[in-house]
Structures are given as structure tokens and as C-alpha cells.
Structure 1
Amino acid sequence: MPPPEHWTAFSTCDPDAAAHFLQTAYATGHRLSLPSPPAPGGGPVVAPAQHRAGPLQVAEALVDPQVVSVIDPSDTITVNVIRAGVLETRIADATSRHGAGDVLIGVGPRLARRHLSQHLAVHTLSLPAALIAAAAGRPAEDTERPWDFTSTTPLNAHASMLWRTTSAYIATMLRMPPQALGPLLIGNLARLAASTLLTAFPTTLGGEARAAPYDRTDATPPVLRRAIAFIDANPHRDIALADIAAAAHASPRALQYAFRRHLDTTPTAYLRRVRLEAAHRDLHAGTPATTTVTEIALRWGFASPSRLAAEHRAAYRTLPSQVLRDGH
């Protein structure tokens, strides 16, 4: 399938030009070389097509016939899904070999790696290391403690399938025209990628979100009121649990206790409810001639019209299309 028009395509037989493109695209050091000169009239050495949406970047690349790449550690983590060909990876003294269907960390936060690719077709998804740490429960201000993956491959076959399925879904969503993807949906996709990565790959980030003794005592009505006021004022923004907790002057765990204790729900569930109410108001205010259910769904962070329809019907006992058509 060809890349969408809004993706950036690039093709070159020059290793230096390819390295410059990759270094610019991925904000990390890439040094490329060829084990042997390319054949006269041969195809491109590197031919990636990539697209960035918020903190996420997806790419489909062809690397042919053989390319050696040395990649520095980076604050941007890249996960590879090999479509075809072979990728041999060396980190320190350990060498591993990967083929079609395999999943591995292509760029990590701490160790440089050397890749030897042979007739490689690869799908990549990149996201900030800070987003992964936040998904594990590490406070945003805690930037000093290093972390890394304890394996460059998923935990098991099920974890590998989980990553392949999730990254394919995210890539499909990012094939949509940029104007259709609002910041709420992009933020949701980024957090989905981070949480799936933590589920699929072993890291040293385990146990970051342990409850502190004061979390339960901090789950007070004033904390809840501050959180609700922040959510009610900012449903249009890409906000996460950490943002709500900061506005409420509480830890994320204390905030979760407060919502569970006083409202029998969670902060993120309350945020989804507020966004559903906003979507419901937009459906009332719109007409089929001026807007669509899809536009309203994406505007308020719903991944599809069917997702909005399911939640809207559960809450209001009617479909979004009926409200848009009839105004009630």
C-alpha cells in the first residue's frame, strides 16, 4: 500500500544523505555505510516514508541490498516490525538476528547499537522516552534516574502480537488526513503506544507507581474539586492523569483514590464523560449539512464514529446520527 500524500517520502543511494535524513527524522545519531558498493543502476539504499503526528512518528522503510547502521542512544524510542529481509543487531558483545514478523527495539535510551540489514522492509513506530516513563508512573520532574529495556525483544509471542496489532492500528489511524486527527485523538494514540510498549517489553521501570502512605489521606474533597474544575475547563486539551494530578496538587495515586472514594469512578473515566457531554452538545448544535458524526467523534478524542456511538447510546439511549439529524 503506497504511503498517504501527507507522509514524507525519501529515496537515495547515498549513505551520507540517508544518514542525514534519518538523523533529522529521528533526532538521533545515524552513521550508515555499505559493505560493498551499490550495483550500477541498482535501486535505492534507503527509501523511507514517514509521518509525524504530535509525539508519534511512524515509517515504512526499504533498506536494500545491505546497509550497516550505527545508532546512538536517544530520547526517542523506536520499535521495529520487520516485514521482510534480515536485520542483525549487535549491542555491546551480544548479537541477535531477526527476520520477517519479528519485533525489536531499534533505538533505545542508553546503549548504542549496530544494525546490519539485508534486503530489509521494516515498519517503525517512534515515541519519546519521557512518555514511556510517564506511562509507568514516573513523575515528570524525575529526569535523573536512567532506565532501559532489559531485552530488545518482547516478553513472548503474545506480547509480540500485541505490539504488531497496536502499532498497525496506530499507523492506520495516522494515514488519515492531518486535519481529521485532532490533538485529543493523537494524545490518546501516543498513550496507547506507551502503555502497550510497557506491556510488551521488559524494562527497568517496574514498580514506579507504588502507593505512598500519604496517598489515601490526600484523597480529600478539595483535591477532588480542583481536579473536577480542571477537567471541566479543559476537555478540549490533550490532558493526561499527570496533568490533572498537578492541577489538583496531589499525586496521581491520591487523585485516583479521591475519585474512587467520592465518585466511584476514575479521573480518566470522568474526563471521557465530560468529552461525551461536549460531543452530545455539538451534535445538538449541528446539522447533517454542516458537520458529520465522524468530525465530532474525532474532535473529542473518540477513535471512530462507532466508539462514539457505543458510548453515546449507553449514556443517552440514542445514536449520535439521530441527534444530529433530529436535534434531540
Structure 2
Amino acid sequence: MRIELDTDDLDVACRALTDAYEGLRLAVAGDCHRLRLVRGRLGPVELRRTTFTMAVTGEGQPICRLGFARLRRGSVAHAEGGGFTGHEAGDVFLIAQPDEPYKVMADAPDVETVFIDQALLAEVSDSRSSCKPEPVRFTGRLPVSRRAAGLWRNAHAHVRDIVVDQSAADQPLLAGAAVRMLAATALSVFPNTGLRQPTVVDSRDAHSAALARALLFVDDNAHRDISEADIAGAARVSIRSLRLAFERHPGVTVADHLRRVRLALAHRDLSAADPTVTTVAAIAARWGFADEHKFDLLHRMAYGVAPDAVIPHD
């Protein structure tokens, strides 16, 4: 994340907001006009934190991406059904549909926003594999429950931490897994039209030959930033069929199997590591494990020893 702007010049602030929010038209009230804009990107996901002291009414054209917000301070209200729906500090909500104009009122907000490309949501939701693929559409602005809102805050914080830590952001496996996790969280947190249950065709296609193709692809490509969509494509089935095949045998999720394969590869690298130049954290990150403590636990469960005990020290 980098600070793009920190100013109390109203004209500069308005131009920055107009540029950042795709032609947003503004009306500003109040005497204090300070604006701070911070931005970061991780592949198809953009993170922003916008903090300003004035009261603003804004109207904008479609932003062509899904935008999700977490309000840290102040208030925000968006136009809906002839009126306005308000949000308070701590709330998370969908900003607008990507194909619809929007109107908001904000009073001294500090708001964190995540923009997700629709292609990523289509990949994660498996909508591209349907007979008549259509973009996933969100049918409500608010999370389905308070617990779901907490899941979004945690997922957002995880991705934000990776964006802040440039060394982590530069690790393809970490970055790829993080953005797909965030998209999947959006689909589980906010009501949408994505198909969740497998169809009859999905069940029929979840056979042993598809599973064998998937397992071979994972073994050959675990070093790459591969997704469920990539694995399903190699197995020549939908993501839902792929998940069913793994549930039936070997009885784990696709993500769990990929993690096991990468854990074995990380163990191999630990066994061959030079302790003077390589750390456990570096190897864990290389293989997509963002949390060193969780990596330690997984390694102990699989191999009976801590990761640093595997590194040759003589």
C-alpha cells in the first residue's frame, strides 16, 4: 500500500476523488478539506483507504468492478429505492453493482474499499463452466449475517497485510491464493446469483478418471500459481465436479490436497536448505504458506518435527 495523496487543498482533493472513482461528481460541505488516499494492488484486486474530513455528496457512473467497503469511521449512505441506506463505523457493504450508476453521501469517513474484477469472481464461482455463462450478480448490499461480516473483515485484513508486505506480495503462490480466497469470501458473505450446489451433470462427471487427471496436474504444477479453475480445466470437468470427485475420494478438499503437496515440496526444500542464506519463513512463503506459525503446525502434524529441525545445521 502506498500513499497517493495527503492534502488539504480542496481542488486537489476533488480532482483526486474524481480520478480515483471514475468520474465521480462531487458536492462538498464544511471548512476542513483534508484528504488522504492510500492504494495497493494484488493482481485483479485493488485495495484503497480513503480518509477525508469534509461532508461529500457524490454521483458516479458504473465502476465496472465489484466494490466492497468497510467503514472505519464517520458515516456513509447510498441511494437505494428512492431513499438512502446508511452505514456506521464497523459496517461492511457492497458499494454498487458494476453496471449501475451510484450516488453516495458521506460525512468525514475513513473507509477501506476493495475492488474485485468480475473475471475473478466468475472463475471462483464456476459460472464460466455453465451452459449459459452469466456474470455473478450480487442481490443485496449487506452481508448475510453478522458472522459473515466478520469473515469479510478477516479476509480483507489478510489480503491487506500481504499487500503491505512487499516480500509477501512478490510470492506468486501467496498472492494468487489470497485474491481467490477474498473473491470466494465475497461470494459467501454477500447474497448473489452464483450457483453453489452441484448439478446432475456435475455429479456424473465427478468420476475417477477426472480425479486422476486432476491429481497428475497438481503434482506437475504445484510450483505454479494454479487455481481450482486451472485444475478443473486440466481434469476436463467443472469446479463443482472437481470438488465432488475429491470429496468422494480421497475425501479432502481440492485446497487441502494442494496444500499437502506443497507442504511436501516445502519439506524437501527445508531438507536441502543452506541455513546461512535460507529461512523457514522464506520457504513457507515460497510454497504459499502466509502464516509461519500455521506452517509450523502443519509440518509438525505431517512430519513429527518443527520445520527448522529439518534444515541441515552441520
Report the alpha carbon displacement of residue 144 of structure 1 after superposing the two structures with TM. Answer: 5.4
Post-superposition CA distance 1:126-171 (Å, at most 9, x none):
2222322333332267785344322212223222222223222322
Decide whether aligned partners of structure 1 residues 51 and 178 sit closer, same or farther in structure 2, where only a CA change above 3 A counts.
farther
What are the within-5 Å matches in structure 2 for residues 222-261 of structure 1? 222-261=209-248
Decide whether aligned partners of structure 1 residues 140 and 21 sit closer, same or farther in structure 2, where only a CA change above 3 A counts.
farther
Report the alpha carbon displacement of residue 86 of structure 1 after superposing the two structures with TM. Answer: 1.5
What are the within-5 Å matches in structure 2 for residues 78-227 of structure 1? 78-91=67-80, 93-139=82-128, 145-178=134-167, 181-205=170-194, 208-227=195-214
Decide whether aligned partners of structure 1 residues 88 and 321 sit closer, same or farther in structure 2, where only a CA change above 3 A counts.
same
Q: Please give the TM-score of this superposition, normalised by the length of structure 2.
A: 0.88
Secondary structure of the residue aligned to 1:30 is coil
Name the structure 2 match of 1:49.
38
Report the alpha carbon displacement of residue 314 of structure 1 after superposing the two structures with TM. Answer: 1.1
Q: Where do 5+ consecutive residues of structure 1 fail to align?
A: 1-5, 24-28
Decide whether aligned partners of structure 1 residues 238 and 244 sit closer, same or farther in structure 2, where only a CA change above 3 A counts.
same
Secondary structure of the residue aligned to 2:242 is helix
Whole-angstrom CA distance in 2 between matches of 1:75 and 1:234? 32
Conservation of the 8 A alpha-carbon contact between 1:78 and 1:126:
yes
Report the alpha carbon displacement of residue 20 of structure 1 after superposing the two structures with TM. Answer: 4.7
Secondary structure of the residue aligned to 1:286 is coil
Whole-angstrom CA distance in 2 between matches of 1:119 and 1:325? 56
One of 1, 4, 9 as aligned partner of 2:4: 9
AA aligned to 1:58 is L
Whole-angstrom CA distance in 2 between matches of 1:280 and 1:71? 51
Whole-angstrom CA distance in 2 between matches of 1:142 and 1:59? 36
Name the structure 1 match of 2:268.
281
Secondary structure of the residue aligned to 2:278 is coil
Whole-angstrom CA distance in 2 between matches of 1:279 and 1:67? 51
Decide whether aligned partners of structure 1 residues 292 and 272 sit closer, same or farther in structure 2, where only a CA change above 3 A counts.
same
Report the alpha carbon displacement of residue 296 of structure 1 after superposing the two structures with TM. Answer: 0.8
Name the structure 2 match of 1:3.
none
Report the alpha carbon displacement of residue 92 of structure 1 after superposing the two structures with TM. Answer: 5.0
One of 27, 30, 36 as aligned partner of 2:23: 30
AA aligned to 1:18 is A
AA aligned to 1:227 is A
Conservation of the 8 A alpha-carbon contact between 1:109 and 1:147:
no
AA aligned to 1:9 is E
Name the structure 2 match of 1:321.
308
Moved more, 280-289 or 103-112: 103-112
Whole-angstrom CA distance in 1 between matches of 2:196 and 2:107? 41
Whole-angstrom CA distance in 1 between matches of 2:308 and 2:247? 33
Q: Please give the TM-score of this superposition, normalised by the length of structure 1.
A: 0.85
Report the alpha carbon displacement of residue 179 of structure 1 after superposing the two structures with TM. Answer: 5.5
Secondary structure of the residue aligned to 1:11 is strand
AA aligned to 2:100 is L
Name the structure 1 match of 2:47.
58
Conservation of the 8 A alpha-carbon contact between 1:50 and 1:58:
yes
Aligned residues: 311
Secondary structure of the residue aligned to 2:62 is coil
Decide whether aligned partners of structure 1 residues 171 and 143 sit closer, same or farther in structure 2, where only a CA change above 3 A counts.
farther
Q: Where do 5+ consecutive residues of structure 2 fail to align?
A: none
Moved more, 313-322 or 64-73: 64-73
One of 251, 262, 272 as aligned partner of 1:264: 251
Whole-angstrom CA distance in 2 between matches of 1:213 and 1:140? 14
Report the alpha carbon displacement of residue 287 of structure 1 after superposing the two structures with TM. Answer: 2.0
Decide whether aligned partners of structure 1 residues 56 and 143 sit closer, same or farther in structure 2, where only a CA change above 3 A counts.
farther
2:67 matches 1:69 = no
Whole-angstrom CA distance in 2 between matches of 1:160 and 1:187? 23
Seq. identity, %: 32
Post-superposition CA distance 1:261-314 (Å, at most 9, x none):
443333322211111111111111112211111111111111211121111111
Decide whether aligned partners of structure 1 residues 198 and 94 sit closer, same or farther in structure 2, where only a CA change above 3 A counts.
farther
Report the alpha carbon displacement of residue 17 of structure 1 after superposing the two structures with TM. Answer: 2.0
The CA RMSD measured in Å over matched residues stands at 2.5
Decide whether aligned partners of structure 1 residues 142 and 168 sit closer, same or farther in structure 2, where only a CA change above 3 A counts.
farther
AA aligned to 2:183 is A
Whole-angstrom CA distance in 2 between matches of 1:247 and 1:216? 17
